[in-house]
Amino acid sequence: MKGKKLIAVAAGAVMAFTLAACSGSGAGDDSSADATTSAAPAESNGGDAAMEKGTIGVAMPTQTSERWIADGDAVKKGLEAEGYTVDLQFAGDDIPTQSQQIDSMITNGSQLLIVAAIDGTALSGQLEAAAAAGIPVIAYDRLIRDTPNVDYYVTFDNYKVGVQQATSLLVGLGILNEDGSEGDAEGPFNIELFAGSLDDNNAFFFFNGAIDTLQPYIDSGVLVVPSGQTEIEQVATLRWAQETAQKRMEDLLTANYASETLNGVLSPYDGISRGILTALSNAGYGPTIADGMPVVTGQDAEIASVKLINDDVQFATIFKDTRKLAAQAVVGALSFLDGAEPEANDTTTYDNGVKVVPSYLLDSDIVYKDNITSLLVDSGYWTADEVASGVAE
Ligand code: GAL
């Protein structure tokens, strides 16, 4: 029955000409819509057919990281510009909340889902229901695993992001120059490694790209990992949480650095980087890199971290232009809604355990202090004032 309703809507704009006021639900980033979840609404919400083009469900993981807020807003605006209503939900990094939000999107008649999963393996049940209802599913930034019911994946070249993170660490230590040529520094340097959340497929791609880049230097003794913790399971950070990273950094310092000096930390995400920097600063490192703060990497070009880079506290981050990602998700969604297959530029890399998901990969850049302006300000991602204040306006 859900399928019938969807097909009626998805059959094309021709059939969706009922013009009436939109319900207004989900038109913002409030999450109050989940309160209405129940088993019944599939048949009782005929009101959604009243929208000119129908509703698209957008499920984002959390608002604690500003990137997901920007991602959600950009996808929403892009789809609204095409005449769709958007049910945008954030799940507070809570898996049951996200599952419930997706259930509601399906029962409320969403025509298509765009999902950035909290736990990439936890949505099989929801996506089975989506498939039964004929609802295409786009995995957003994070691959959804262990299900045949994901149709398209928009993301960045995540292995390359990991290579870039490791490269920025090597540049910060002076082993490489920014142009990729050999630097003057010979080491040995003490480093520690951090990875993201093991339930996020991206964490493995980032870590693999990074460790493949660092391993030759570890093998030759230029880089030393005093804790001995070099496996992803040992260095992972559940939910990418800043406090968790801070605690692990504190423990690492206590256990391994009573008489050693730490020179660098591979960090996969700016929130984790800030936790690491807090621990380092509390332990007396810094305050700036010039004063002995270890070289700390990052990802996402979050404004608080861009300011830290500008202030010579964090060494680098990776800029993934979420505006481009959101635009590609919208392009993919429109293709599905037109009954076509969206363009993929990678059909081999992202095996989700059941199938290789056709993917569209975008490029990323390393941000150093000296290219903040060219990469982030000139492109309009952040203003010069935001970089100076560390606060998004
Ligand atoms: C990853 C994402 C990163 C970062 C991290 C923590 O999935 O690719 O860019 O945002 O989650 O939110």
Residue 110 in contact with ligand 1 by CB distance below 6 A: no
Q: What is the pTM of this model?
A: 0.87
Atom of ligand 1 nearest to the CA of 300: 9
Residue 299 in contact with ligand 1 by CB distance below 6 A: yes
Atom of ligand 1 nearest to the CA of 61: 12
**Beta strand segments in the chain, E:** 55-60, 85-90, 112-115, 137-140, 152-156, 189-193, 223-224, 264-266, 295-296, 317-319, 359-362, 365-367
Asked, as a colleague might, if the bond just before 342 is cis with ω within 30 of 0, I would say: no
Atom of ligand 1 nearest to the CA of 116: 7
Contact 159, 208 (CB under 8 A): yes
Residue of 209, 188, 183, 166 lying closest to 295 (CA atoms)? 166
117 alpha carbon – ligand 1 mean position (Å): 10
Residue 300 in contact with ligand 1 by CB distance below 6 A: yes
Distances (CA, A) of 65 to 187, 271, 308: 35, 8, 16
Residue of 307, 325, 271 lying closest to 70 (CA atoms)? 325
Helices (H) and strands (E) in the chain, counts: 14, 12
Structure tokens given for 73: 């807003």
Residue 200 in contact with ligand 1 by CB distance below 6 A: yes
What are the pLDDT tens digits along the chain (393 aa)? 333 333 333 333 333 322 222 232 222 333 333 333 333 333 333 344 434 689 999 999 999 988 999 999 999 999 999 999 999 999 999 999 999 999 999 999 999 999 999 999 999 999 999 999 999 999 999 999 999 999 999 999 999 999 999 999 999 999 999 999 999 999 999 999 999 999 999 999 999 999 999 999 999 999 999 999 999 999 999 999 999 999 999 999 999 999 999 999 999 999 999 999 999 999 999 999 999 999 999 999 999 999 999 999 999 999 999 999 999 999 999 999 999 999 999 999 999 999 999 999 999 999 999 999 999 999 999 999 999 999 998
Closest-CA residue, ligand 1 atom 5, reads 269
10 alpha carbon – ligand 1 mean position (Å): 31
What is the DSSP-derived secondary structure letter of residue 343?
P
110 alpha carbon – ligand 1 mean position (Å): 25
Q: Which of 63, 64, 67, 321 to mutate to test the pocket of ligand 1 (most atoms within 8 A of CB)?
A: 67
Residue 239 in contact with ligand 1 by CB distance below 6 A: no
Structure tokens given for 94: 């809570």
For residue 89, list its beta bridge partners: 59
Contact 193, 276 (CB under 8 A): no
Q: Is 292 exposed, middle or buried (0-12, 13-18, 19+ CB in 10 A)?
A: middle
235 alpha carbon – ligand 1 mean position (Å): 16
Domains of the chain: 2-150+321-362 (3.40.50.2300), 158-319+385-389 (3.40.50.2300)
Q: Which of 140, 273, 299 to mutate to test the pocket of ligand 1 (most atoms within 8 A of CB)?
A: 299
Closest-CA residue, ligand 1 atom 9, reads 300
pLDDT digits (tens, 9 = 90+) for 126-154: 999 999 999 999 999 999 999 999 999 99
